[in-house]
Structure 1
Amino acid sequence: MNELTLHRGLAMHRINAMILRYWYLLLSSWPRLLELLYWPILQIITWGFLQLYIAENANFFARAGGTLIGAVILWDILFRGQLGFSISFLEEMWSRNIGNLMMSPLKPIEFLLALMIMSLIRLAIGIIPMTLLALFLFHFNLYSLGLPLIAFFCNLIFTSWSVGIFVSGLVLRNGLGAESIVWTLMFALMPLACIYYPVSVLPAWLQYVAWSLPPTYVFEGMRALLIEGTFRTDLMLAAILINGLLLVASFGAFLALLRSAKKNGSLLSGSE
Protein backbone atom coordinates (compact mmCIF):
# COMPACT_ATOMS: atom_id res chain seq x y z
CA MET A 1 0.00 0.00 0.00
CA ASN A 2 1.72 3.17 -1.21
CA GLU A 3 -0.50 5.74 0.54
CA LEU A 4 0.09 6.54 4.18
CA THR A 5 -3.23 6.13 5.96
CA LEU A 6 -4.31 6.76 9.50
CA HIS A 7 -6.77 5.01 11.77
CA ARG A 8 -10.19 4.37 10.21
CA GLY A 9 -9.04 5.17 6.69
CA LEU A 10 -7.93 8.76 7.18
CA ALA A 11 -5.55 9.57 4.34
CA MET A 12 -2.54 11.81 4.96
CA HIS A 13 -2.29 12.76 1.29
CA ARG A 14 -5.75 14.34 1.39
CA ILE A 15 -4.95 16.23 4.60
CA ASN A 16 -1.62 17.36 3.10
CA ALA A 17 -3.38 18.51 -0.07
CA MET A 18 -5.72 20.73 1.95
CA ILE A 19 -2.83 22.16 3.98
CA LEU A 20 -0.93 22.97 0.78
CA ARG A 21 -4.04 24.65 -0.64
CA TYR A 22 -4.31 26.99 2.36
CA TRP A 23 -0.55 27.55 2.46
CA TYR A 24 -0.47 28.66 -1.18
CA LEU A 25 -3.49 30.93 -0.56
CA LEU A 26 -1.65 32.48 2.37
CA LEU A 27 1.55 33.05 0.39
CA SER A 28 -0.31 34.45 -2.60
CA SER A 29 -1.59 37.47 -0.66
CA TRP A 30 0.74 39.81 1.19
CA PRO A 31 -2.20 41.46 3.05
CA ARG A 32 -2.99 38.08 4.63
CA LEU A 33 0.61 37.73 5.83
CA LEU A 34 0.68 41.34 7.03
CA GLU A 35 -2.52 40.85 9.03
CA LEU A 36 -1.00 37.87 10.83
CA LEU A 37 1.90 40.06 11.98
CA TYR A 38 0.19 43.43 12.42
CA TRP A 39 -2.33 42.74 15.20
CA PRO A 40 -0.07 40.71 17.53
CA ILE A 41 2.66 43.37 17.25
CA LEU A 42 0.14 46.15 17.90
CA GLN A 43 -1.20 44.25 20.92
CA ILE A 44 2.18 43.68 22.52
CA ILE A 45 3.31 47.29 22.04
CA THR A 46 0.06 48.76 23.40
CA TRP A 47 -0.25 46.51 26.45
CA GLY A 48 3.50 46.35 27.01
CA PHE A 49 3.81 50.07 27.58
CA LEU A 50 0.75 49.94 29.84
CA GLN A 51 2.51 47.21 31.83
CA LEU A 52 5.57 49.45 32.19
CA TYR A 53 3.43 52.32 33.46
CA ILE A 54 1.63 50.13 36.01
CA ALA A 55 4.91 48.55 37.16
CA GLU A 56 6.33 52.02 37.86
CA ASN A 57 3.30 53.07 39.91
CA ALA A 58 2.12 49.97 41.75
CA ASN A 59 4.20 47.65 43.89
CA PHE A 60 1.92 44.71 43.22
CA PHE A 61 2.42 44.76 39.48
CA ALA A 62 6.13 45.32 39.97
CA ARG A 63 6.21 42.06 41.94
CA ALA A 64 3.93 40.35 39.43
CA GLY A 65 6.55 40.92 36.76
CA GLY A 66 4.81 40.63 33.45
CA THR A 67 1.38 39.21 34.26
CA LEU A 68 -0.23 41.74 31.93
CA ILE A 69 2.09 41.04 28.99
CA GLY A 70 1.82 37.30 29.63
CA ALA A 71 -1.97 37.55 29.63
CA VAL A 72 -1.92 39.49 26.34
CA ILE A 73 0.26 36.87 24.65
CA LEU A 74 -1.78 33.92 25.94
CA TRP A 75 -5.04 35.66 24.94
CA ASP A 76 -3.63 36.16 21.45
CA ILE A 77 -2.81 32.44 21.25
CA LEU A 78 -6.42 31.64 22.13
CA PHE A 79 -7.98 34.20 19.79
CA ARG A 80 -5.64 33.69 16.81
CA GLY A 81 -5.80 29.92 17.13
CA GLN A 82 -9.56 30.10 16.61
CA LEU A 83 -9.29 32.79 13.95
CA GLY A 84 -6.61 30.90 12.02
CA PHE A 85 -8.89 27.85 11.95
CA SER A 86 -11.98 29.82 10.95
CA ILE A 87 -10.30 31.96 8.28
CA SER A 88 -9.12 28.88 6.39
CA PHE A 89 -12.68 27.54 6.57
CA LEU A 90 -14.14 30.86 5.40
CA GLU A 91 -11.77 30.83 2.41
CA GLU A 92 -13.80 27.87 1.14
CA MET A 93 -17.12 29.58 1.86
CA TRP A 94 -16.07 32.82 0.17
CA SER A 95 -14.87 30.94 -2.94
CA ARG A 96 -18.05 28.78 -3.01
CA ASN A 97 -15.82 25.71 -2.89
CA ILE A 98 -17.15 24.03 0.25
CA GLY A 99 -19.73 22.00 -1.66
CA ASN A 100 -17.06 20.64 -4.00
CA LEU A 101 -14.90 19.58 -1.05
CA MET A 102 -17.75 17.81 0.72
CA MET A 103 -18.60 15.86 -2.46
CA SER A 104 -14.97 14.80 -2.92
CA PRO A 105 -13.31 11.79 -1.18
CA LEU A 106 -12.14 14.21 1.52
CA LYS A 107 -13.61 13.13 4.86
CA PRO A 108 -14.95 15.79 7.26
CA ILE A 109 -12.43 14.72 9.89
CA GLU A 110 -9.59 15.13 7.38
CA PHE A 111 -10.90 18.57 6.50
CA LEU A 112 -10.96 19.58 10.17
CA LEU A 113 -7.48 18.17 10.82
CA ALA A 114 -6.11 20.22 7.91
CA LEU A 115 -7.76 23.34 9.35
CA MET A 116 -6.20 22.60 12.76
CA ILE A 117 -2.71 22.32 11.29
CA MET A 118 -3.19 25.53 9.31
CA SER A 119 -4.28 27.32 12.49
CA LEU A 120 -0.94 26.33 14.06
CA ILE A 121 0.96 27.63 11.03
CA ARG A 122 -0.92 30.94 11.03
CA LEU A 123 -0.49 31.22 14.78
CA ALA A 124 3.28 30.68 14.59
CA ILE A 125 3.63 33.44 11.98
CA GLY A 126 1.98 35.95 14.31
CA ILE A 127 2.97 34.81 17.80
CA ILE A 128 6.71 34.14 17.39
CA PRO A 129 7.51 37.76 16.35
CA MET A 130 5.19 38.94 19.14
CA THR A 131 7.09 37.00 21.83
CA LEU A 132 10.46 38.18 20.47
CA LEU A 133 9.23 41.78 20.53
CA ALA A 134 8.09 41.34 24.15
CA LEU A 135 11.57 40.08 25.01
CA PHE A 136 13.36 42.90 23.16
CA LEU A 137 11.21 45.84 24.29
CA PHE A 138 9.93 44.78 27.71
CA HIS A 139 12.35 42.02 28.81
CA PHE A 140 9.51 39.54 29.21
CA ASN A 141 10.60 36.07 28.11
CA LEU A 142 7.54 33.87 27.64
CA TYR A 143 9.76 30.89 26.90
CA SER A 144 11.34 31.14 30.36
CA LEU A 145 8.11 29.66 31.73
CA GLY A 146 9.45 26.30 30.54
CA LEU A 147 7.27 23.19 30.60
CA PRO A 148 4.20 25.00 32.05
CA LEU A 149 4.11 27.02 28.82
CA ILE A 150 3.42 23.77 26.91
CA ALA A 151 0.44 23.06 29.20
CA PHE A 152 -0.84 26.62 28.76
CA PHE A 153 -0.43 26.51 24.98
CA CYS A 154 -2.06 23.09 24.51
CA ASN A 155 -5.10 23.99 26.58
CA LEU A 156 -5.58 27.30 24.78
CA ILE A 157 -5.19 25.81 21.30
CA PHE A 158 -7.62 22.98 22.14
CA THR A 159 -10.20 25.55 23.24
CA SER A 160 -9.63 27.62 20.10
CA TRP A 161 -10.16 24.53 17.93
CA SER A 162 -13.38 23.63 19.75
CA VAL A 163 -14.78 27.11 19.18
CA GLY A 164 -13.50 27.15 15.57
CA ILE A 165 -15.10 23.80 14.74
CA PHE A 166 -18.42 24.81 16.28
CA VAL A 167 -18.69 28.22 14.59
CA SER A 168 -17.62 26.69 11.26
CA GLY A 169 -20.51 24.27 11.56
CA LEU A 170 -22.89 27.16 12.24
CA VAL A 171 -21.68 29.04 9.17
CA LEU A 172 -21.90 25.85 7.12
CA ARG A 173 -25.52 25.36 8.16
CA ASN A 174 -26.70 28.99 8.08
CA GLY A 175 -24.54 30.43 5.29
CA LEU A 176 -22.37 33.54 5.31
CA GLY A 177 -25.13 35.45 7.09
CA ALA A 178 -23.77 33.82 10.27
CA GLU A 179 -20.17 34.85 9.49
CA SER A 180 -20.11 37.52 12.19
CA ILE A 181 -20.17 34.85 14.89
CA VAL A 182 -16.67 33.83 13.78
CA TRP A 183 -15.33 37.22 14.84
CA THR A 184 -17.46 37.81 17.94
CA LEU A 185 -17.90 34.56 19.87
CA MET A 186 -14.38 34.48 21.35
CA PHE A 187 -14.70 38.09 22.51
CA ALA A 188 -17.94 37.12 24.27
CA LEU A 189 -15.91 34.65 26.35
CA MET A 190 -13.21 37.23 27.13
CA PRO A 191 -14.71 38.73 30.34
CA LEU A 192 -15.48 35.28 31.76
CA ALA A 193 -12.04 33.83 30.99
CA CYS A 194 -10.55 36.26 33.55
CA ILE A 195 -7.61 37.19 31.34
CA TYR A 196 -6.47 40.34 33.13
CA TYR A 197 -7.91 39.74 36.62
CA PRO A 198 -8.50 36.79 38.98
CA VAL A 199 -11.76 34.85 39.14
CA SER A 200 -12.37 36.21 42.64
CA VAL A 201 -13.18 39.62 41.09
CA LEU A 202 -16.39 38.21 39.57
CA PRO A 203 -19.68 37.92 41.46
CA ALA A 204 -20.01 34.56 43.21
CA TRP A 205 -22.70 33.24 40.84
CA LEU A 206 -20.66 34.21 37.78
CA GLN A 207 -17.57 32.42 39.09
CA TYR A 208 -19.28 29.09 38.43
CA VAL A 209 -19.65 30.06 34.77
CA ALA A 210 -16.02 31.17 34.58
CA TRP A 211 -14.75 27.88 35.99
CA SER A 212 -16.64 25.99 33.27
CA LEU A 213 -14.31 27.56 30.65
CA PRO A 214 -10.85 25.99 30.10
CA PRO A 215 -9.07 29.35 29.45
CA THR A 216 -9.96 30.48 32.98
CA TYR A 217 -7.76 27.70 34.39
CA VAL A 218 -4.91 28.71 32.08
CA PHE A 219 -4.91 32.39 33.06
CA GLU A 220 -5.26 31.54 36.76
CA GLY A 221 -2.35 29.13 36.32
CA MET A 222 -0.25 31.80 34.60
CA ARG A 223 -0.81 34.26 37.44
CA ALA A 224 0.05 31.61 40.04
CA LEU A 225 3.27 30.84 38.18
CA LEU A 226 4.38 34.45 37.66
CA ILE A 227 3.31 35.86 41.03
CA GLU A 228 3.76 32.91 43.40
CA GLY A 229 6.23 30.81 41.41
CA THR A 230 3.89 27.81 41.66
CA PHE A 231 2.72 25.62 38.78
CA ARG A 232 -0.87 24.53 39.47
CA THR A 233 -1.07 21.02 38.03
CA ASP A 234 -4.65 20.66 39.28
CA LEU A 235 -5.75 23.62 37.15
CA MET A 236 -4.12 22.23 34.01
CA LEU A 237 -5.62 18.76 34.48
CA ALA A 238 -9.08 20.26 34.95
CA ALA A 239 -8.62 22.36 31.81
CA ILE A 240 -7.54 19.32 29.78
CA LEU A 241 -10.60 17.36 30.96
CA ILE A 242 -13.01 20.13 29.99
CA ASN A 243 -11.20 20.67 26.68
CA GLY A 244 -11.54 16.97 25.86
CA LEU A 245 -15.29 17.17 26.40
CA LEU A 246 -15.54 20.36 24.35
CA LEU A 247 -13.58 18.89 21.43
CA VAL A 248 -15.79 15.79 21.29
CA ALA A 249 -18.92 17.96 21.52
CA SER A 250 -17.69 20.33 18.81
CA PHE A 251 -16.90 17.44 16.44
CA GLY A 252 -20.37 16.02 17.03
CA ALA A 253 -22.00 19.42 16.49
CA PHE A 254 -20.05 19.99 13.26
CA LEU A 255 -21.08 16.63 11.82
CA ALA A 256 -24.72 17.21 12.81
CA LEU A 257 -24.71 20.68 11.24
CA LEU A 258 -23.03 19.29 8.12
CA ARG A 259 -25.77 16.67 7.74
CA SER A 260 -28.39 19.36 8.23
CA ALA A 261 -26.70 21.57 5.62
CA LYS A 262 -26.73 18.72 3.10
CA LYS A 263 -30.38 18.00 3.82
CA ASN A 264 -31.49 21.63 3.52
CA GLY A 265 -29.34 22.54 0.52
CA SER A 266 -27.34 25.28 2.27
CA LEU A 267 -24.12 23.36 1.62
CA LEU A 268 -24.18 24.29 -2.05
CA SER A 269 -25.63 27.78 -1.83
CA GLY A 270 -23.58 29.13 1.08
CA SER A 271 -25.46 32.40 0.72
CA GLU A 272 -26.49 34.87 3.36
Structure 2
Amino acid sequence: MTFSFARVGALCLRYLYLLSSSWPRLLELVYWPILNLMTWGFLQTYAMNTSNSALFAAGALVSGLLLWEVLFRGQLGFSISFLEEIWSRNLGNLLMSPLRPIEFVAALMVMSLLRLMVGLLPTVVLAIAFFGFDLARLGIGLVAFFALLIITGWAVALLVAGLILRHGLGAESLAWTILFVFWPLCCVYYPLAVLPWWLKPIALALPPTYVFEGMRTVLAEGVLRLDYLAAAAILNMIWFAVASWGFVFLLNKARAAGALLSSGE
Protein backbone atom coordinates (compact mmCIF):
# COMPACT_ATOMS: atom_id res chain seq x y z
CA MET A 1 0.00 0.00 0.00
CA THR A 2 1.24 3.49 -0.81
CA PHE A 3 1.75 6.09 1.87
CA SER A 4 -1.38 8.24 2.19
CA PHE A 5 -1.12 11.79 3.46
CA ALA A 6 -4.92 11.87 3.52
CA ARG A 7 -5.06 9.05 6.07
CA VAL A 8 -2.38 10.74 8.16
CA GLY A 9 -4.30 14.00 8.00
CA ALA A 10 -7.55 12.27 8.94
CA LEU A 11 -5.96 10.68 12.00
CA CYS A 12 -4.35 13.97 13.02
CA LEU A 13 -7.74 15.66 12.64
CA ARG A 14 -9.22 13.06 14.98
CA TYR A 15 -6.59 13.83 17.62
CA LEU A 16 -7.13 17.57 17.17
CA TYR A 17 -10.86 17.14 17.75
CA LEU A 18 -10.08 15.10 20.89
CA LEU A 19 -7.62 17.72 22.12
CA SER A 20 -9.85 20.70 21.40
CA SER A 21 -12.84 19.11 23.12
CA SER A 22 -10.97 18.52 26.40
CA TRP A 23 -9.82 21.58 28.34
CA PRO A 24 -7.71 19.50 30.77
CA ARG A 25 -5.63 18.24 27.85
CA LEU A 26 -5.17 21.76 26.49
CA LEU A 27 -4.26 23.09 29.92
CA GLU A 28 -1.65 20.38 30.37
CA LEU A 29 0.19 21.55 27.26
CA VAL A 30 0.86 25.05 28.52
CA TYR A 31 1.16 25.05 32.29
CA TRP A 32 4.16 22.74 32.79
CA PRO A 33 6.61 25.13 31.08
CA ILE A 34 5.04 28.13 32.82
CA LEU A 35 5.08 26.51 36.28
CA ASN A 36 8.69 25.37 35.96
CA LEU A 37 9.73 28.86 34.87
CA MET A 38 7.90 30.55 37.75
CA THR A 39 9.05 28.12 40.45
CA TRP A 40 12.74 28.04 39.64
CA GLY A 41 12.75 31.70 38.60
CA PHE A 42 11.45 32.77 42.01
CA LEU A 43 13.94 30.45 43.70
CA GLN A 44 16.77 32.06 41.73
CA THR A 45 15.54 35.51 42.74
CA TYR A 46 15.50 34.46 46.38
CA ALA A 47 18.95 32.84 46.21
CA MET A 48 20.46 35.92 44.55
CA ASN A 49 19.02 38.38 47.06
CA THR A 50 19.16 36.48 50.34
CA SER A 51 21.96 36.77 52.84
CA ASN A 52 20.44 34.21 55.21
CA SER A 53 22.77 31.32 54.51
CA ALA A 54 21.87 29.84 57.89
CA LEU A 55 18.40 29.09 56.62
CA PHE A 56 19.82 27.02 53.77
CA ALA A 57 22.20 25.33 56.21
CA ALA A 58 19.21 24.42 58.41
CA GLY A 59 17.79 22.36 55.55
CA ALA A 60 15.03 24.67 54.33
CA LEU A 61 15.08 23.20 50.82
CA VAL A 62 14.96 19.58 51.97
CA SER A 63 12.27 20.39 54.53
CA GLY A 64 10.24 22.19 51.88
CA LEU A 65 10.60 19.24 49.52
CA LEU A 66 9.47 16.72 52.14
CA LEU A 67 6.46 18.81 53.17
CA TRP A 68 5.53 19.26 49.52
CA GLU A 69 5.59 15.47 49.17
CA VAL A 70 3.10 15.24 52.05
CA LEU A 71 0.75 17.57 50.18
CA PHE A 72 1.25 16.01 46.76
CA ARG A 73 1.32 12.34 47.79
CA GLY A 74 -1.66 12.80 50.08
CA GLN A 75 -3.70 14.17 47.20
CA LEU A 76 -2.37 11.59 44.74
CA GLY A 77 -3.01 8.65 47.06
CA PHE A 78 -6.65 9.68 47.37
CA SER A 79 -6.99 10.19 43.62
CA ILE A 80 -5.32 6.92 42.59
CA SER A 81 -7.55 4.84 44.87
CA PHE A 82 -10.53 6.60 43.31
CA LEU A 83 -9.21 6.10 39.78
CA GLU A 84 -8.73 2.38 40.38
CA GLU A 85 -12.50 2.11 40.72
CA ILE A 86 -12.91 4.01 37.44
CA TRP A 87 -10.36 1.86 35.59
CA SER A 88 -11.98 -1.36 36.78
CA ARG A 89 -15.47 -0.07 35.91
CA ASN A 90 -16.53 -0.73 39.50
CA LEU A 91 -17.64 2.76 40.48
CA GLY A 92 -21.22 2.27 39.33
CA ASN A 93 -21.48 -0.91 41.37
CA LEU A 94 -20.19 0.85 44.48
CA LEU A 95 -22.56 3.77 44.19
CA MET A 96 -25.56 1.48 43.60
CA SER A 97 -24.72 -0.43 46.78
CA PRO A 98 -25.70 0.71 50.31
CA LEU A 99 -22.29 2.43 50.49
CA ARG A 100 -22.79 6.13 51.20
CA PRO A 101 -20.61 8.72 49.44
CA ILE A 102 -19.20 9.91 52.78
CA GLU A 103 -18.12 6.33 53.57
CA PHE A 104 -16.48 6.05 50.17
CA VAL A 105 -14.60 9.31 50.77
CA ALA A 106 -13.54 8.17 54.26
CA ALA A 107 -12.06 4.96 52.81
CA LEU A 108 -10.17 6.98 50.20
CA MET A 109 -8.74 9.18 52.97
CA VAL A 110 -7.52 6.14 54.91
CA MET A 111 -5.86 4.73 51.78
CA SER A 112 -4.28 8.12 51.13
CA LEU A 113 -2.64 8.03 54.58
CA LEU A 114 -1.41 4.48 54.09
CA ARG A 115 0.07 5.24 50.68
CA LEU A 116 1.69 8.37 52.05
CA MET A 117 3.31 6.54 54.95
CA VAL A 118 4.70 3.82 52.69
CA GLY A 119 6.22 6.38 50.33
CA LEU A 120 7.35 9.03 52.80
CA LEU A 121 9.07 7.05 55.57
CA PRO A 122 11.90 5.69 53.37
CA THR A 123 12.30 9.18 51.88
CA VAL A 124 12.78 10.74 55.32
CA VAL A 125 15.33 8.06 56.24
CA LEU A 126 17.32 8.79 53.07
CA ALA A 127 17.10 12.55 53.70
CA ILE A 128 18.62 12.01 57.13
CA ALA A 129 21.30 9.64 55.83
CA PHE A 130 22.40 11.57 52.74
CA PHE A 131 21.65 15.21 53.52
CA GLY A 132 21.83 15.38 57.30
CA PHE A 133 18.17 16.37 57.58
CA ASP A 134 17.29 17.00 61.22
CA LEU A 135 13.64 16.13 61.82
CA ALA A 136 13.82 17.47 65.37
CA ARG A 137 14.35 21.03 64.07
CA LEU A 138 10.69 21.25 63.12
CA GLY A 139 9.62 20.04 66.58
CA ILE A 140 5.93 19.74 67.42
CA GLY A 141 5.16 21.93 64.43
CA LEU A 142 5.84 18.95 62.17
CA VAL A 143 2.62 17.29 63.31
CA ALA A 144 0.60 20.44 62.62
CA PHE A 145 2.26 20.97 59.24
CA PHE A 146 1.53 17.36 58.27
CA ALA A 147 -2.14 17.55 59.28
CA LEU A 148 -2.75 20.86 57.52
CA LEU A 149 -1.12 19.74 54.28
CA ILE A 150 -2.89 16.39 54.14
CA ILE A 151 -6.28 18.10 54.59
CA THR A 152 -5.48 20.48 51.74
CA GLY A 153 -4.50 17.51 49.59
CA TRP A 154 -7.78 15.76 50.35
CA ALA A 155 -9.79 18.86 49.47
CA VAL A 156 -8.08 19.13 46.08
CA ALA A 157 -8.45 15.38 45.46
CA LEU A 158 -12.15 15.50 46.32
CA LEU A 159 -12.79 18.19 43.75
CA VAL A 160 -10.72 16.32 41.15
CA ALA A 161 -12.77 13.19 41.81
CA GLY A 162 -15.94 15.16 41.11
CA LEU A 163 -14.52 16.51 37.84
CA ILE A 164 -13.55 13.00 36.73
CA LEU A 165 -17.04 11.75 37.55
CA ARG A 166 -18.59 14.51 35.47
CA HIS A 167 -16.14 14.71 32.57
CA GLY A 168 -14.78 11.17 32.44
CA LEU A 169 -11.20 10.08 31.90
CA GLY A 170 -10.56 13.19 29.81
CA ALA A 171 -10.01 14.87 33.18
CA GLU A 172 -7.86 12.03 34.56
CA SER A 173 -4.61 13.95 34.08
CA LEU A 174 -5.79 16.47 36.67
CA ALA A 175 -5.12 13.87 39.36
CA TRP A 176 -1.39 14.09 38.62
CA THR A 177 -1.06 17.70 37.58
CA ILE A 178 -3.58 20.02 39.24
CA LEU A 179 -1.64 20.46 42.47
CA PHE A 180 1.38 21.73 40.58
CA VAL A 181 -0.67 24.78 39.62
CA PHE A 182 -0.20 25.86 43.25
CA TRP A 183 3.47 24.88 43.41
CA PRO A 184 5.01 28.30 42.64
CA LEU A 185 2.31 30.10 44.65
CA CYS A 186 2.65 28.10 47.88
CA CYS A 187 6.22 29.38 48.43
CA VAL A 188 7.62 25.89 48.92
CA TYR A 189 11.28 26.86 48.46
CA TYR A 190 11.24 30.64 48.95
CA PRO A 191 9.41 33.17 51.15
CA LEU A 192 6.25 35.02 50.24
CA ALA A 193 8.23 38.26 49.87
CA VAL A 194 9.80 36.96 46.66
CA LEU A 195 6.47 36.92 44.81
CA PRO A 196 5.35 40.02 42.88
CA TRP A 197 2.68 42.06 44.64
CA TRP A 198 -0.14 40.94 42.34
CA LEU A 199 0.44 37.26 43.16
CA LYS A 200 0.62 37.69 46.93
CA PRO A 201 -3.19 37.85 47.51
CA ILE A 202 -3.57 34.55 45.62
CA ALA A 203 -0.77 32.96 47.62
CA LEU A 204 -2.31 34.14 50.88
CA ALA A 205 -5.57 32.39 49.97
CA LEU A 206 -3.76 29.03 49.85
CA PRO A 207 -3.40 27.10 53.14
CA PRO A 208 0.01 25.58 52.23
CA THR A 209 1.55 29.05 51.95
CA TYR A 210 1.21 29.51 55.71
CA VAL A 211 2.62 26.04 56.35
CA PHE A 212 5.78 26.66 54.33
CA GLU A 213 6.20 30.15 55.76
CA GLY A 214 5.81 28.66 59.24
CA MET A 215 8.34 25.95 58.42
CA ARG A 216 10.97 28.52 57.47
CA THR A 217 10.24 30.54 60.62
CA VAL A 218 10.83 27.46 62.76
CA LEU A 219 14.11 26.69 61.01
CA ALA A 220 15.42 30.27 61.00
CA GLU A 221 14.18 31.55 64.36
CA GLY A 222 13.10 28.47 66.32
CA VAL A 223 9.61 29.95 66.69
CA LEU A 224 6.35 28.20 65.82
CA ARG A 225 3.94 30.84 64.49
CA LEU A 226 0.50 29.90 65.82
CA ASP A 227 -1.10 32.64 63.72
CA TYR A 228 0.14 30.90 60.58
CA LEU A 229 -1.31 27.60 61.79
CA ALA A 230 -4.64 29.22 62.60
CA ALA A 231 -4.86 30.91 59.19
CA ALA A 232 -4.08 27.64 57.43
CA ALA A 233 -6.67 25.77 59.50
CA ILE A 234 -9.42 28.31 58.74
CA LEU A 235 -8.63 28.28 55.03
CA ASN A 236 -8.59 24.47 55.06
CA MET A 237 -12.10 24.41 56.49
CA ILE A 238 -13.27 26.72 53.72
CA TRP A 239 -11.46 24.74 51.04
CA PHE A 240 -12.80 21.42 52.28
CA ALA A 241 -16.36 22.71 52.54
CA VAL A 242 -16.24 24.04 48.97
CA ALA A 243 -14.63 20.82 47.68
CA SER A 244 -17.27 18.67 49.43
CA TRP A 245 -20.07 20.73 47.93
CA GLY A 246 -18.41 20.52 44.51
CA PHE A 247 -18.02 16.74 44.75
CA VAL A 248 -21.67 16.19 45.67
CA PHE A 249 -22.82 18.61 42.95
CA LEU A 250 -20.70 16.94 40.26
CA LEU A 251 -21.70 13.47 41.46
CA ASN A 252 -25.38 14.35 41.07
CA LYS A 253 -24.67 15.80 37.62
CA ALA A 254 -22.87 12.59 36.63
CA ARG A 255 -25.78 10.49 37.87
CA ALA A 256 -28.26 12.59 35.91
CA ALA A 257 -26.14 12.26 32.75
CA GLY A 258 -25.66 8.50 33.20
CA ALA A 259 -21.89 8.94 33.27
CA LEU A 260 -21.21 6.55 36.15
CA LEU A 261 -21.80 3.37 34.15
CA SER A 262 -20.01 4.61 31.02
CA SER A 263 -16.75 5.48 32.74
CA GLY A 264 -13.70 3.24 32.54
CA GLU A 265 -10.75 2.38 30.38
CA distance in 2, matches of 1:80, 1:267: 26
User: Could you tell me which residue of structure 1 aligns to residue 151 of structure 2?
Assistant: 158
User: Could you tell me which residue of structure 2 aligns to residue 125 of structure 1?
Assistant: 118
- Structure 1 gaps of 5+ residues are 1-53
Which consecutive segments of 4 or more residues in structure 1 shift more than 4 A? none
User: Could you tell me which residue of structure 1 aligns to residue 99 of structure 2?
Assistant: 106
Identity %: 53
What is the CA distance between 1:132 and its match in structure 2?
A: 1.0
Q: What TM-score results when the alignment is normalised by the length of structure 1? A: 0.77
Deviations, residues 53-102 of structure 1 (Å, cap 9, x unaligned): x9xxx973344410000000000000000000000000000001100000
CA distance in 1, matches of 2:60, 2:253: 44
Match runs of 1:1-272 below 5 Å: 60-64=52-56, 65-270=58-263
* Aligned alpha-carbon RMSD (Å): 1.5
CA distance in 2, matches of 1:166, 1:159: 11
- Is this contact kept in 2: 1:99–1:267, CA < 8 A? yes
Q: Counterpart of 1:238 in structure 2: which amino acid?
A: A
- Structure 2 gaps of 5+ residues are 1-46
Q: Which structure has more RCO (C-alpha within 8 Å, separation ≥ 6)?
A: 2
CA distance in 2, matches of 1:194, 1:135: 23
What is the CA distance between 1:188 and its match in structure 2?
A: 0.7
Deviations, residues 86-135 of structure 1 (Å, cap 9, x unaligned): 00000000001100000000000000000001000000001111111111
Deviations, residues 237-263 of structure 1 (Å, cap 9, x unaligned): 000000011111111111111100000
What is the CA distance between 1:140 and its match in structure 2?
A: 0.9
CA distance in 1, matches of 2:200, 2:164: 30
What is the CA distance between 1:146 and its match in structure 2?
A: 2.2
Q: Counterpart of 1:60 in structure 2: which amino acid?
A: N
CA distance in 1, matches of 2:213, 2:135: 16
How many positions carry a matched residue from both structures? Answer: 216
